[in-house]
Amino acid sequence: MERVISVISVPARRRTPPWFGREARRALAAGLAVAALALGAGWPYWRGHPAAAAVTLGCCAGIAAQGVLLATGGRTRRTGLLFLAASVCWAVNWLASWDAYAGPILSPYAQAGFFLALGVGVLMYPDGRLEYTADRIWTVLAVLILMGGPTALWVTSEPEWAAFHGSTVWWPAPFPDAGAFETALRASAALYVFLALSFAAVLLLRLPRMGRFKRLLTLPVTAALAFVGLSAALTQRPVMEPSIALADLLHVYAVQGAVATLIPCTLLASGLRLRIAELTVAGRMLRLTAPVTVERVRAALRDVLRDPTLELWFWAPAERAYVDASGRPADLTGSGAARVAGSGASRLAGSGRAEPGDRWRRTVRADDGGPLAVVEFGGALRDHASLVEAALAAGGRALETARLQAAVHANLERVRAAYGRLVRAEAAERERLARDLHDGAQQRLLALGAMLGTLEAVTTDPAVKRHTAGCRRELMTALAELRALAREVRPALLVQDGLGPALEVAAERIGVRVVLDVPTGRLPPDRESALYGLLCETLSYAVERAGATRVTVCVRPSGPRLVAEVGLDGEIPVGPAADLAGRVGALRGHLEIDGGPGTGTTVRMVLPCE
Amino acid sequence: MRPSGWPAWFGPGVRRAAAAGAAVATAALLCGWPYWRAHPGAAAVTLPGCAGLAVAGGVLAAGRTGRRTGALFLAGSGFWALLWLAAWNTGPAPLVSVFAQSAFYTLVGAAVLLYPAGRLTRPAERLWVIACAAVLFGGQLALCLLSRPEWNGFAPDATWPSVAPHHAVFDWTLGTMTALLITLAGALVVLLLARLPRTGRLDRPLTAPVALAISVIVVAGVWSQNSIMARGITLADVERAYLIQSLFAAVLPLVFLGTGLRGRLAELTVAERMQRLAAPPVTLEKVRDALRGVLHDESLDLWFWVPADDVHVDVAGRRVDTARPGAAPGPDPPGRLRHEVRTSAGEPLAIVDLSGALRGHEPLVAAALAAGGRALEAARLQATARAHLERARAAGEHLVRVQAAERERLAADLQASARRRLRTLDGRLAALARAADDPAARALADRCRAELAEAAAELDDLARGVHPALLTEAGLGPALAAVAGRSAAPIRLTVPPRRFPPEVESTLYFALCEALTNAVKHAGAATIALTVEAGPAAVVAEVRDDGAGGAAHQPSGGGLNGLTDRVRALRGTVTVTSAPGAGTTVTITLPAVS
Amino acid sequence: MRVALAEDSGIFRQALETLLTTVGIEVVASAATGDELFTRVAVDPPDVAIVDLHMPPTHTNEGVVLARRLQVRDPRIGVLVLSAFNETPQALELFRDRPRGVGYLLKDHVTDVEVLRSALERVRRGEVVIDPDVVSRLVEARHHRRELARLSERERDVLGLMAEGHSNAGIGRRLHLSARTVEDHVRAIFTKLRITASGGPDGPQDTNKRVLAVLTWLRAAETR
């Protein structure tokens, strides 16, 4: 089953209010039609009893309208049709008031049909089928008793006995027998009461087996119907007396009709409750998901949909996998999600498929059509697709925000990690280069120096001695140059003694007076080299660009971070400051520059130290 | 939040209202018992109507708007219960009943005029209330003084202040009263209609149904009252008239309930509507327009807080001079309302400037702003995140550029040392060797020269590894040609002769060298093709070999990983396609630098 | 004089050996690592051990460590540490506590036979030797130029030589001054720079202490 819903519908202007859609209009039409039918059917009685008319017609219309509303739902379709049938039956029931032709004989059947359709309809609500054995048994019994009663009535009686006196009344009465009639009446009355009681029992049996959400919806309807059934069985008693007046009979009908109004009212209330739940779910999700995190979205969905077993897996684009709320990758075997991921241009596509324990999943899509999350529900929520859709639409927004955060975070993390690797790779390469210089060319040149020394020692020739001395001077210069180069490549002291001594030498080289306050303990190597690079750059900016003459450097660990402060008596221009900020930012730290003209400048760098 | 046993909508105010309703219904039941006993249907309709009025009054009294209206309704419902005392038809009951009716209409009329402002805003309204009280109470008193109880349909022994019963005067007074009542009813309807254009767009859906309902009730009341404005009516007539009036009066609480529910629903669904109106991609203007639509306030304005610049800007991006977030809010400008919008985490986000007419709709405004705030927050988050990412990327790019430049300089320095300084030294050593007569010394000098040559060669090698001089001087093509010349396997080169920015050249050079090394060393390729193509948007370099392939599946990507970082830092990509047996193709794409 | 040699670079070690042998200094042992040398000179200690500062395994301060170990085992042994780099902190580390018979020489200066021979001699005598380059860099550092401006030119020369480890007599010889004049200069320097260590009688131990005091002052000036 593939459903497609839209996260955010096009902001088109609706001509009718949101609660008065096509279904509502159709329901209103059906209600009016059935009410008109009932008005026609019971006209002789209504003429004299306008209040009863108002109540009964309202009841008929309500049940019919409710039936149409339910019939448009997927699973409640049968319940809806049965309710519609019940309302028509109730209208037909009032044909008795005409006291002519087939009206009187149809009326008891219509009454029986009304209660039967109502009862079975409620039993089928909201699943659309008779789920339990008890339900089916009750249905069979109800058909037998409710259809058998009226049959026994007309078989054993004259119309007058059943309150009908009209001359045109069609009443076959094959075996009119007062004794049998009375027995049939009493048996029917007892059976009706039994039916009502057993119905209440069946309803009560169902309740504990339902999910939380279903129970919430079913409970009022069940209570209403149990009440209606019992009161119907009890009010039926006077009718079950032989020789009753037609007025009394119709009065009973009116009372039963009035009581039956409870059913459309409760159903309407349930429906309204659902609709309001759908309309308000966005607001509730909004309140529940602040500040936005995946966990919060999950908790909000659980709360709003009343499904504590609801699970949510979030699409992590970096890992190209779904992860659970705590970020662990989840194996959604069967890859229902992956299958859906390839489908359509819809923003939010759903795939409901049979899961063990009747759980089902739905894929939430982002605005750009990419996968956003997979949500798994308990089976009970299958009946509330529109509520689920509304909740997911609102949750999708929040998830999108969360994803945005996560994606950007991941991207940032990746870029920063790459930056870190670049820095480390460069450092490693420089170290290798420095070592190569030291071990190779430098040693060779030093050896050359020793050889020259030897030459000088062995020779007595003043010319050679002079040449040797010149060579040695030249060699010293070359060595000094090489050494300067090597120092630039990699400060040997940093590896050896740590940040403090290395910075001393750097300061010496730059030629500025630096007051150092650096911890003597060693820091993680990559932090040392990062900080060294940053501080050297800052020092050189301080001297070259800010013209500083006094510089202080203070490095100290602060919890999980490293704080380095460079104070100087000058002002660092904007360009170098931005360069520094970029470098510090790429190392996941942040930079603050305080101070202004005349007051000196404090450059404060905070780096994470993990 | 303290968990309470009651559902959210059934708060203490509503519970009190329900209790008041039950009490009033009970009172009405007792007052009208003789009538109800005979007419259960009428009871079933009237008592809930009476109770409903009391409940509506109670709920209104507990709410923010219409507190006085609610209190008056509550009182009115109490008088309506007393009205039914007429059913007892004995003692002072009929007298109480007729004055209770007067009180009921006076109170309901005043209550409706008080809604929703809570005070009588115009002199005409005040005048109407005074006139109504005078006519209803004064007229009723006059009628009582001028009549006997039986003329009014009551038992003759009922307590009745019959001071001067006079048929003609009584009839004349009845006629006058009828005319006055019709005038009062018409005046009320006119007053209510006159108010409609002045109410705000948000208030109109709330007040219009109430005005309509009260108009209907008053007209029906007057009409049914007219039927008993005659001498010699029976108690049944009176009761029927009361019943009809009760039925119509029951509409009032329903209307109030309806409008109340509608308002509450609007508050609850505003998030959904905002979500629909401010669909992504979110812009400031879209959010503002959505707020305008939802709150029915065309004058609404939205000022976005830009933390980086420390200012608020309007939808067009212009600076708006207003209080900084967190600063003590100044008094709202006259007729306007200012609200601060914060992110879900409590950060300042925006300021909304609303029409003062929305003052009574704080929950609706808060709900709409929360939804709009979330949309804005997402937009800001996106922008901030992009900026962060861009900054990090720029830093990476800068780093690669700096590194490339440093390497070039370093290589140049090494080269210079090797060439200049050591050449000079070599010259001196050569001179020394020439000057030495001693063969031992000459041999030593020659050894020195050999050592020096070694050192120079080493420095040259190192320099090439750091950054080949050829690359700096002649560019990518010649540098790669030199690499190809040293390679063990034949390499077919297709490289454009043009120059690229230094960081592009050095990154490409080292990445391609690494790819070539891999092709030769790991893939055992017989022929290798290297192409570099410079398009308008990107430089694409490719190394294709006919070797073993399958490199993508090997865990060790060789030194390519480090180079991939460098390529990515320059916003380029590296792709390796290497099916087993089908050779390996490494493609490096770098965006062209303008 | 008998020396032992620890140096990880083969080329330089060989060249140095040749040089030493050529100038008549006996090389009794020559090793590539500090541990090897330490073992090989256990039985027959040389007069002076020449050790490279950077050696395997860490290439950091093996020379200093070896110098300490050697002198702990045999206090009479002199140690001359060679370094390719001018690294003040390492030099100071070497002269910490009671320095005796230790020297710090840049490899560049090894090529000057006379400098090498003199350093070896002084270390064997128990004196402290510090490479003039190290000292001159300290003295010339920009940051204490103001303080040093208080000294006369001659006093600055004396300060440098003091820092290099020369005794008053040595200084007098080099500057062609009488021992007494040198003493006056030394006192003046100490007063002007507010160095607390006393000039004291001219003995090797005190000279060495004085070296340390001067070095410390020069270094400390950086952070004052």
Contact status of A553 with chain C (Cβ, < 8 Å): no
Weakest mean pLDDT among A165-169, B441-445, C7-11, C124-128: A165-169
Task: Report percent pLDDT > 90 for chain C.
Answer: 19
Query: In B, which residues are within 8 Å of A286 by CB distance?
Result: 271, 370-371, 374
- The β-bridge partners of B491 are B528
Rounded CA separation B135/B114 (Å): 20
Least CB-CB distance to B428: which of A286, A292, A471?
Answer: A471
Question: Residue A552 belongs to what H/E stretch?
Answer: strand A550-558
Distance between the two ends of chain A, CA-based, in angstroms? 50
User: What mean pLDDT comes out for the span C120-136?
Assistant: 87
Query: In C, which residues are within 8 Å of A512 by CB distance?
Result: 142-143
pLDDT for residue B480 is more than 70: yes
pLDDT tens string A22-46:
778 888 899 999 999 999 888 888 8
Chain B nearest-CA residue for A390: B272
CB B74 within 8 A of CB B256: no
pLDDT for residue B89 is more than 80: yes
Among residues A378, A413, A448, the one where a domain terminates is A413
Q: Strands of B573-577's sheet, edge to edge?
A: B491-494, B528-534, B538-545, B585-591, B573-577
CB B565 to CB A276 under 8 A?
Answer: no
Mean pLDDT over the full length of chain B:
82
Q: What is residue C220's predicted lDDT score, i.e. its pLDDT? A: 62
A40, two tokens:
């026609």
Contact status of A477 with chain B (Cβ, < 8 Å): yes
Least CB-CB distance to A583: which of B381, B395, B444?
Answer: B395
Q: What is residue A166's predicted lDDT score, i.e. its pLDDT? A: 72
**What fold is seen in the domain B474-591?**
Heat Shock Protein 90 (3.30.565)
Mean pLDDT over the full length of chain A:
78
pLDDT tens string B494-525:
999 888 888 888 889 988 988 888 888 776 77
Residues A32 and A49 in one domain: yes
Residues A74 and A48 in one domain: yes
Report the gap between the CA of C141 and the closest CA in chain A (Å): 7
User: What mean pLDDT comes out for the span B230-247?
Assistant: 80
Task: Kindly state the greatest CA–CA separation across chain A.
Answer: 163
Rounded CA separation A101/A97 (Å): 11
Residues A508 and A441 in one domain: no
Rounded CA separation B431/B447 (Å): 14
Q: What is residue C145's predicted lDDT score, i.e. its pLDDT? A: 66
Q: Which residue has the higher pLDDT, C95 or B543?
A: B543
DSSP string, C177-210: --HHHHHHHHHHHHHHHT--S---S--HHHHHHH
Mean pLDDT over the full length of chain C:
82
Question: Residue C60 belongs to what H/E stretch?
Answer: none
Q: What is residue B23's predicted lDDT score, i.e. its pLDDT? A: 92
pLDDT tens string A236-268:
777 666 667 777 878 888 888 778 878 777 877
Q: What is residue A355's predicted lDDT score, i.e. its pLDDT? A: 41
Whole-model pTM over 0.90: no
Buried b / exposed e over C40-65, threshold 16 CB at 10 Å, is bbeeebbbbbbbbbbbeeebbbbbbb
User: What mean pLDDT comes out for the span B438-465?
Assistant: 85
Q: Using 50, 70 and 90 to split pLDDT, how confident is the model at A547?
A: confident
User: What mean pLDDT comes out for the span C115-135?
Assistant: 88
pLDDT for residue B1 is more than 60: no
Query: In A, which residues are within 8 Å of C88 by CB distance?
Result: 504-505
- B454: region left, alpha or beta (phi > 0 left; psi from -120 to 50 alpha): alpha
Phi, psi (degrees; rounded to nearest 5) at A418: -65, -40
Task: Flag whether A540 is in a domain.
Answer: yes
Q: How many CB atoms lie within 10 A of CB B198?
A: 11
pLDDT tens string A426-443:
777 877 887 788 788 888
Q: To 5 degrees, how large is the angle CA A450–CA A452–CA A456? A: 115
- Alpha helices of A42-76 — where are they, by DSSP H? 43-48, 50-71
User: What mean pLDDT comes out for the span B560-586?
Assistant: 82
CB A433 to CB B462 under 8 A?
Answer: yes
Report the gap between the CA of A431 and the closest CA in chain B (Å): 12
Q: Which residue has the higher pLDDT, C38 or A388?
A: C38
CB B263 within 8 A of CB B257: no
The SS3 call for residue B331 is coil
CB B593 within 8 A of CB B536: no
The CATH class of the C135-223 domain is mainly alpha
Q: Which residue has the higher pLDDT, A431 or C168?
A: C168
Q: What is residue B8's predicted lDDT score, i.e. its pLDDT? A: 62
Q: What is residue A333's predicted lDDT score, i.e. its pLDDT? A: 63
Task: Flag whether A77 is in a domain.
Answer: yes
Q: In C, residues 31-90, which contact A (CB 8 Å cutoff)?
A: 54, 59-61, 84-90
pLDDT for residue A90 is more than 70: yes
Q: Using 50, 70 and 90 to split pLDDT, how confident is the model at A321?
A: confident
Size of interface A-B (CB pairs under 8 A): 222
Residue with tokens 């809806």: A80
pLDDT for residue A339 is more than 70: no
Q: What is residue A60's predicted lDDT score, i.e. its pLDDT? A: 86
Residues A534 and A552 in one domain: yes
Number of domains in chain A: 4
CB A512 to CB C9 under 8 A?
Answer: no
Q: Which residue has the higher pLDDT, A379 or B296?
A: B296
CB A468 to CB B381 under 8 A?
Answer: no
CB A582 within 8 A of CB B397: no
pLDDT for residue A347 is more than 50: no
My answer on whether omega of the bond before B116 falls inside 30° of 0, hence cis, is yes
Q: What is residue A148's predicted lDDT score, i.e. its pLDDT? A: 86
pLDDT tens string A444-455:
888 888 888 888
Rounded CA separation B252/B213 (Å): 6
Q: What is residue C31's predicted lDDT score, i.e. its pLDDT? A: 92
Rounded CA separation B543/B585 (Å): 6
Distance between the two ends of chain B, CA-based, in angstroms? 60
Q: Using 50, 70 and 90 to split pLDDT, how confident is the model at B457?
A: confident
C62, two tokens:
């093996």
* Sign of the dihedral defined by the CA atoms of residues A354, A355, A358, A364, in that order: negative
Q: What is the 3-state secondary structure (H, E, C) of A238-275?
A: HHHCCCCCHHHHHHHHHHHHHHHCHHHHHHHHHHHHHH
Report the gap between the CA of B76 and the closest CA in chain A (Å): 26
The enclosing domain of A510 has a CATH number of: 3.30.565.10
Least CB-CB distance to A436: which of B279, B371, B462?
Answer: B462
Q: Using 50, 70 and 90 to split pLDDT, how confident is the model at A351?
A: very low
- Alpha helices of chain C — where are they, by DSSP H? 10-22, 34-40, 62-73, 88-94, 107-110, 113-124, 132-140, 145-148, 153-164, 168-175, 179-193, 204-223
Phi, psi (degrees; rounded to nearest 5) at B323: -65, 145
Among residues A253, A276, A299, the one where a domain terminates is A276
Contact status of A23 with chain C (Cβ, < 8 Å): no
Q: Where are the domains of chain B?
A: 67-264, 282-393, 395-466, 474-591
Q: What is residue A175's predicted lDDT score, i.e. its pLDDT? A: 79
The enclosing domain of A322 has a CATH number of: 3.30.450
Contact status of A8 with chain B (Cβ, < 8 Å): yes
pLDDT for residue B39 is more than 90: no
CB B396 to CB A283 under 8 A?
Answer: no
**What fold is seen in the domain C2-130?**
Rossmann fold (3.40.50)
Residue with tokens 């039914």: B84
Query: In B, which residues are within 8 Å of A467 by CB distance?
Result: 428, 431-432, 435-436
Rounded CA separation A383/A358 (Å): 12
Domain that holds residue A251: 18-276
Among residues A371, A387, A413, the one where a domain terminates is A413
Query: In C, which residues are within 8 Å of A469 by CB distance?
Result: none
Q: Where are the domains of chain C?
A: 2-130, 135-223
Chain B nearest-CA residue for A19: B265
